[in-house]
Structure 1
Amino acid sequence: MSDQPSGFAVVPASHRDLSAAQRNRAHWATMALFFIAGMMYASWGVHVPTVRDRFQLNPGLLSVALLAVAVGSIGAMFSSGAWIARMGTRRACLGGGLTMALCAALILVVPAYWMLLVVLALFGAGMATLDVAMNAEASAVENLLGRPVMSALHGMFSVGGMSGAALGGVLLSHGMAPVLHLALAAALSALVLLLACPAVLPHVAPVPHPAERGAPASRWRSSALWALGGIALIALIAEGAMYDWATVYMRDVVGASAAAASAAYAAFSGGMAAARFAGDAVRARFGAPQLVLVSASLACAGMIGALLLPYPVAALTGFTLMGLGLANMMPVLFAAAARVEGIHAAVGLAHVAGLAYFGLLLGPVVIGAVTQMTSLPLGLSVVALCAALVACAGPKVLRRLRI
């Protein structure tokens, strides 16, 4: 099967002499990077209302501020791959992570709105650079260990996000100043980065195919990367829609209480976190194509069930199944992007991640447009359609790439 140890890329010569202890330290260091990335992003998310109040923003100006993070992220994802390939994942993780931490500490300190936009764009760029670099590192760790670990690492990102949001809420409810909270989160992130990065593999070489001995292939002409990126975009349309519209569906269509409506996001996120920690074992046992087929089918069934049975328990069950089904899409697709023939791992990851993130932003907009023209249940049927498309196309692409 494609995801058994024999299916992994050849370990670069610079990594072959690493001891078992060094390999394990690299694995643990990468786990720490994913956790800190999730924690730092959630710590910023807690303060979106604080930013609104601090700068007295109307909804339009607040949307521009949020867009600045997205623009910085997408710009970095499409431009950072080659830089990470030259610098190596160790330096890229450190540089991107420290940029993210520093900008987080400055968000509530800058005195003017235009400065806020600059800081948020740099925050997004640092986050995206760390994201691409740590996923390239995760792929190298998989090769080094000879077994799947990508899904569990993405699970650590989810745990970091939940921990950051929960801890931020507790600290703020006990009177901690928002500026101090972000400074504390930034300091903790910087400390973990400085402690973890020395254990990160010194660099991640391209997958050693003959084509790479000559001029490197262009990611813009790689049909494999465009196929993987297209699947990632479709999958993230569904995921992005769930983050923004699940609670609205519970409130407006199901007629649930405020508490039950807020549980929709928790059900979806909890399903994602749980499935990510189980995904590696499933991928090792059955292979990536089978995992994507079953996962996407589960997500599709969950969404259809929630739409056909608009009752609190049924809807929450459907959203949990959606989380379980979508959880391993990005880990599998990122692992595949890092092994495309003739493309450096970081370059492939940057390409697919950029398209995926665009889908994450596009999802809520698409659902909103369809809902405006029809109804929210029909709008959310787009989510089920996206999951069905991934179930049909995803396994075929992965089999063709022998992932």
Structure 2
Amino acid sequence: MTRIRNPQRFSARISRERLAVSTFFLINGFVVGSWAPKIPGLAARLSISEGVLGLMILAFGIGSLTMMPVMGPLIARFGSARPAKFAALALSPTLLWLTLAPDIPLAAAALFLLGGFVGAMDIAMNANAVAAEQHLRRAIMSSCHGFWSLGGFIGATGGGLMIEAAGPLWHAMAVTMIAGALTLAVWPLVFEDKPLENSARHPVRLPQSLLPYLVGLMALFSMVPEGAVLDWGALYLKQAFGADIATSALAFGAFAAAMATTRFAGDTLRNRFGAVSTLRISALIAFAGLLSAALAPHPALAIAGFALSGIGIANMAPILFSAAGNLPGLAPGIGLSLVTSMGYSGLLAAPPAVGFVAESTGFKVVFAALAFLLLAIFARAEVARHADMR
């Protein structure tokens, strides 16, 4: 057994590595959250209709899904540290570019780059979190995603206040400086994982086995309900119960708050009970919450149901991403790139599909149907065993 000559130095180094990857998640969530309050001002400045704005927002998603698969081979070749660092640095000024765009085509291009660098950094920082988990031999992924939620909250709430007080340009400059400064601050602390020396053992190509696609499908099933609550929860409360704007906003507000809080406890739960048990319990809680929201006779009960579903959904993606980063026979980053791309495609593509179906069936039926996707995760939760640190 290898002895650690200086336990205090070893512990400090591990703490710095965990701090670095958590900060990357915070930066990514902060930039994404800061984009949300800019939407109304961007639409007004460029006289963008709702239809055109929808297409521009789609450019964000296309950018993410374009860059995510590219990162897998880069991580396999160079490790996750360098791609994560440079993606974070490239992401920092994207909101400034968007704010300075003088017309719709350049604004759409800026949104494509914003989404692209968000997606690229997402893959790289998740891969670095997996590498840090392997090094620590304990789960840290859920708390990392908790920092992403915290960053999103800070970016959205603080951004709205700053835009109102100082204007969109000063806000964009502040976001650029904060994200850039945080990136440079943790630059030397990032865990430097290394690619495998024998690349022939883990060739850089699409997986041949069905296992990574199964994990990706489960990630998809866990993120489709999240996207549905984000985009349609408020409208559901308004249409089904006649709720006012403030009450309707609590649909996603309660969901997001419950999710963020639970993520900070998720690593403790996974270290204590194991990834498979944690995923199964999470799936059952999420199923009960989403079905309760769909069948609720009162808006308060629907909001409580959304909050309960947030508790269950919170740790699903982190567990599945950890499993993806540890799948046997795959180059580092390849499994994670595939699973993350499949998962986020559900987050991006589900809301339009949900809206289309809800026109015919109503939101109660849609949310009840989405609840049963979570039972599929419960049924195949054994694939999460690859997330356990041994």
Q: C-alpha separation between the residues in 2 aligned to 1:238 and 1:321? A: 13
Does residue 189 of structure 1 match 2:189? Answer: no
Which residue does the alignment assign to 2:67? 76
Which residue does the alignment assign to 2:333? 346
What letter matches 1:32 in structure 2? T
Structure 1 residue runs of 4+, over 6 Å off?
Answer: 400-403
**Structure 2: tracts of 5 or more residues without a match:** none
Does residue 198 of structure 1 match 2:184? Answer: no
Change (3 A) 1:325 1:401: closer
Check conservation: 2:78, 2:195, Cα contact below 8 A. Answer: no
**Within 5 A, what are the aligned runs for 1:56-205?**
56-173=47-164, 175-205=165-195
Give secondary structure in 2 for the equivalent of 1:108: helix
Check conservation: 1:54, 1:108, Cα contact below 8 A. Answer: no
Give secondary structure in 2 for the equivalent of 1:62: helix
Identity in percent: 32
Q: C-alpha separation between the residues in 1 aligned to 2:188 and 2:331? A: 22
Does residue 274 of structure 1 match 2:265? Answer: no
Q: C-alpha separation between the residues in 2 aligned to 1:249 and 1:123? A: 30
Among candidates 360, 383, 386, match of residue 397 of structure 1:
383
**Structure 1: tracts of 5 or more residues without a match:** 1-10
Check conservation: 1:337, 1:345, Cα contact below 8 A. Answer: no
Which residue does the alignment assign to 1:262? 249
- TM-score of the superposition, structure 1-length normalised? 0.90
Give secondary structure in 2 for the equivalent of 1:343: coil
Q: C-alpha separation between the residues in 2 aligned to 1:33 and 1:216? A: 28
1:304-342 Cα distance to aligned partner (Å, 9 max, x none): 112222312211110100100100111001100110112
Count of residues in correspondence between the two structures: 384
Which residue does the alignment assign to 1:7? none
Q: C-alpha separation between the residues in 2 aligned to 1:80 and 1:180? A: 32
Among candidates 270, 274, 288, match of residue 275 of structure 2:
288
Q: CA deviation at 1:217?
A: 5.9
1:75-116 Cα distance to aligned partner (Å, 9 max, x none): 111122111332332221221112211221110102222111
Q: CA deviation at 1:205?
A: 3.4
Q: C-alpha separation between the residues in 2 aligned to 1:143 and 1:356? A: 22
Check conservation: 2:357, 2:366, Cα contact below 8 A. Answer: yes
1:169-215 Cα distance to aligned partner (Å, 9 max, x none): 22223x21101101111111011101112100223435x9xx96535
Q: CA deviation at 1:345?
A: 2.8
Check conservation: 2:326, 2:387, Cα contact below 8 A. Answer: no
- TM-score of the superposition, structure 2-length normalised? 0.93
Which residue does the alignment assign to 2:211? 224
Q: C-alpha separation between the residues in 2 aligned to 1:258 and 1:235? A: 27
Which residue does the alignment assign to 1:243? 230
What letter matches 1:135 in structure 2? N
What letter matches 1:49 in structure 2? P
